[in-house]
A and B are shown apart, each in its own frame.
Chain A
């Protein structure tokens, strides 16, 4: 029987098995950020030290000031950022803090710096680590105890997850993006649809995506409950990586590429579960509720609780509508917004900013709108292309890179009761600040909402 990409990487990185069936996986890349200090606390409390500083990388993102709402900042945010810096000096690993050109959100900067490579096992104390699977890495989020374990041993115990293949064929229409694709998928399989599984994304619509688009898709695997997402490396992956800071060079590069080409699922490989979709099912999407699965094409209307087939779900929808301040039957395009946020590890890459700038160009933001590049390199590139000017001319605020309003941990937040069109990944209650109401959508759709003052169909602008 053939093997999947996942099984190949799993086998290559297995150190040993425990009698109970858990496998000790070697960790090729461990990225730590400014919200993982408790992992270092735990490592030290147990009397251990960092085993492989050369395979550990630091990136500050969650608590970094991005320049929007300095008023909300607290001194302990800087402490978190400084703590990462102190750990990197103490243990001797590379780390990029605010102001450094290589700084950025772990899931934007990691691939961009070539830290993430096909076939590597990569872990990070953040649930969106699935993002890195877009390059054909086996990448997953871990908790503080596991971080301590990886810091001290460079390994992690894992039980083999189940495998799901999601095949999406066809060509996406203009203005339909990777974000719409993944939102549509989560709408179809549900927020728990991938629980216990690794998802491999395949099919012509996936192959046709740029690396940025693939990163967006894999990023939200966790919103479908999956352990992680992966895409087989191909020419897009290889040309994306060539010449990046930490990517191999010379002979080693050639050897690496030859190996990466073998990282595809064999024709006779078997998945525990298969899902397929066609690109024609996908339109510009927007969420109306408090779970990423509460999603519809922008042409739709807010659903009534009665669409659910059970009582629990009816209650959940009723509560979500109440929290979101929406009434069933309302056209999605009639929902007025108070703010827009373009950024995050889902959609803070150059291609995302270009798409948003296309919409912002020559128009005026009707509500406060922030554009937060995902990394220092994205910011520099966007400025070189003049995107920052397009945004500021349109009345958008252009900020420094970081997580910012995606998670409201650095003081940038959506005030209670306000409604934000956001290119991020979670619309949970309180995610962007207590009482905040989040509508998830693509960067172009977020820009369209900003310039019209309501949720809008980007195709009609």
Chain B
């Protein structure tokens, strides 16, 4: 995983609630292997019209937002299907940070496992950020993970993050390798669980 320490970049506003993962990456892209990349799949049906031409009204088609690396959006972002492709498409497109009042649970977990920092932020602050972005397109936001702060001009705030995820993100660590270091504990548990719940550990 690509480490995340701090990031400064242009923010794009997409102030809509309940943006689901079908919208972030439509199902037709899902047969791709991870290494082929998903940048073109991001918001595919919002970015272009049915005939494939770019929709000029969509924020990511408008400069300077086309160079955005931070997305500021509405609550319950990433709801719906558990497809991790949604995170890959945001990351492959170039986004490093998503700021929203709330994130759907599965999306939230998927993001942090892929080096995409999601920052739950009160609605009022999100509104302020959006106002700044529309008044001054190209407004940059600075995010520092170590100090857990977001700075945008004269506005700054701190955010919460699970300390373990923070550690993994800062160091680009894979959780699986970390868990396998605890294999002895897992095996001990399996032995005990097998005795108390034989119907679970030895299916017919």
Chain A residues with Cβ under 8 A from B83's Cβ? 143
Interface residues on A, range: 35 or more
Tell me, in angstroms, the Cα distance from A260 to B35 when the chains sit together.
44
A6 to chain B, nearest CB (A): 15
Beta-carbon contacts of B1-45 to A below 8 Å, as 1s and 0s?
A: 000000000000001111010110011101101100000000001
Q: Are A408 and B27 in contact, with the CB atoms below 8 A?
A: yes
Tell me, in angstroms, the Cα distance from A115 to B204 when the chains sit together.
10
Chain A residues with Cβ under 8 A from B20's Cβ? 428
Tell me, in angstroms, the Cα distance from A80 to B30 when the chains sit together.
10
Chain B residues with Cβ under 8 A from A63's Cβ? 31
B70 to chain A, nearest CB (A): 21
Chain A residues with Cβ under 8 A from B197's Cβ? 12, 28, 119, 259
Chain B residues with Cβ under 8 A from A43's Cβ? 176
Chain A residues with Cβ under 8 A from B55's Cβ? none
Which among B84, B85, B190, B199 is the interface contact of A253 at CB below 8 angstroms?
B199
Chain B residues with Cβ under 8 A from A245's Cβ? 204
Which among B26, B79, B113, B198 is the interface contact of A225 at CB below 8 angstroms?
B79
Interface residues of B, count at CB 8 A: 60
- With contacts A146-B109, A225-B76 taken as known, whether A38 is within 8 angstroms of B23 at the C-beta atoms is no
Q: Are A24 and B182 in contact, with the CB atoms below 8 A?
A: yes
Nearest chain B residue, comparing its CB with the CB of A39? B84
Among A19, A225, A407, find the residue whose CB has the most chain B CB atoms closer than 10 A: A225
Q: Are A227 and B105 in contact, with the CB atoms below 8 A?
A: yes
Q: Are B109 and A428 in contact, with the CB atoms below 8 A?
A: no
Q: Are B79 and A430 in contact, with the CB atoms below 8 A?
A: no
Chain A residues with Cβ under 8 A from B196's Cβ? 12
Beta-carbon contacts of A378-406 to B below 8 Å, as 1s and 0s?
A: 00000000000000000000000000000
Please classify the interface of chain A as helix (H, G, I), strand (E, B), loop, or mixed, using the class held by over half of its residues. Answer: loop
Q: Is B200 an interface residue (CB 8 A)?
A: yes
- In the complex, which residues 5-20 of chain A have their Cβ closer than 8 Å to any Cβ of chain B? 12-13, 15-16, 18-20
Nearest chain A residue, comparing its CB with the CB of B45? A430
Q: Are A143 and B113 in contact, with the CB atoms below 8 A?
A: yes
Tell me, in angstroms, the Cα distance from A22 to B110 when the chains sit together.
16
Q: Are B33 and A153 in contact, with the CB atoms below 8 A?
A: no
Q: Is B89 an interface residue (CB 8 A)?
A: no
Beta-carbon contacts of A120-159 to B below 8 Å, as 1s and 0s?
A: 1000011100000000000001111110110011110101
Q: Is B154 an interface residue (CB 8 A)?
A: no
Task: Known pairs A77-B31, A252-B198, A428-B20; list 13 more (Cβ under 8 Å).
Answer: A12-B193, A20-B163, A22-B164, A26-B193, A127-B80, A144-B110, A145-B113, A159-B162, A195-B76, A196-B105, A248-B198, A253-B199, A431-B22
Residues of B within 8 A of A (CB): 15-18, 20, 22-23, 26-28, 30-31, 33-34, 45, 50, 74-76, 79-85, 87, 102, 104-106, 109-110, 113-114, 162-164, 174-177, 179-180, 182-183, 185-186, 189-190, 193, 196-204
- 7 of the cross-chain contacts (CB-CB < 8 Å) are A24-B186, A29-B200, A149-B175, A195-B104, A225-B76, A246-B204, A255-B199
